[in-house]
């Protein structure tokens, strides 16, 4: 399933993330793609809200991984500085550790990504809005997309 939405404000991005977060289950993986400043971390803040996480969410650019506790544990990764030869295969262990994994810049480590995931791509539009494309590659992720669109 593939759906597109137009997001006009940061609050709308957080609302979308919250709807996604409420539908997530253990061991789900979300891949986030988009240019710097597109809204990946803002969307993650909303997902965290939907997972009942009360902590402040910011990008783990320099630490690679931040862990937040909520209804499900959130493993928030920013792999911008990594690549398939970085020796960071240990990150795979988080994909099936009972939480939710969000990977910003996921294409940087495509060799370790699981086969099933929700891909969210955020594109700038000329008018300043964002186009958010949600692509699920199995029935469970498609249900998350359906829930986010309600």
17 SS3 class: helix
Specify the higher pLDDT residue, 83 or 93. Answer: 93
CATH number at residue 13: 3.40.50.300
pLDDT per position as a tens digit, 58-86: 876 667 889 999 999 999 988 876 655 65
Number of structural domains, the chain? 1
Alpha-carbon separation of residue 65 from 50, 68, 86, 102, 150 (angstroms): 20, 10, 15, 10, 31
Q: Give the domain range for residue 69.
A: 2-149
pLDDT for res 16 = 97
Report whether pLDDT(113) > 60.
yes
Is the entire prediction scored with pTM above 0.85? yes
pLDDT per position as a tens digit, 132-149: 999 999 999 999 999 999
**112: confidence class by pLDDT, cuts 50, 70, 90:** confident
């Amino acid at each position: 399933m593939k759906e597109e939405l137009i997001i006009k404000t940061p609050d709308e991005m957080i609302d979308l993330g919250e709807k996604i977060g409420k539908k997530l289950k253990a061991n789900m993986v979300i891949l986030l793609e988009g240019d710097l400043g597109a809204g990946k971390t803002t969307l993650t803040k909303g997902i965290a809200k939907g997972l009942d996480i009360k902590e402040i969410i910011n990008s783990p650019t320099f630490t690679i991984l931040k862990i937040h506790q909520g209804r499900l544990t959130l493993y928030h990764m920013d792999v911008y500085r990594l690549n398939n030869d970085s020796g960071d295969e240990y990150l795979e262990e988080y994909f099936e550790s009972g939480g939710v994994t969000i990977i910003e810049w996921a294409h940087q480590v495509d060799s370790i990504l699981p086969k099933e995931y929700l891909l969210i791509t955020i594109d700038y539009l000329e008018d300043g809005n964002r186009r958010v494309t949600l692509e699920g590659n199995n029935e469970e992720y498609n249900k998350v997309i359906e829930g986010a669109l309600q």
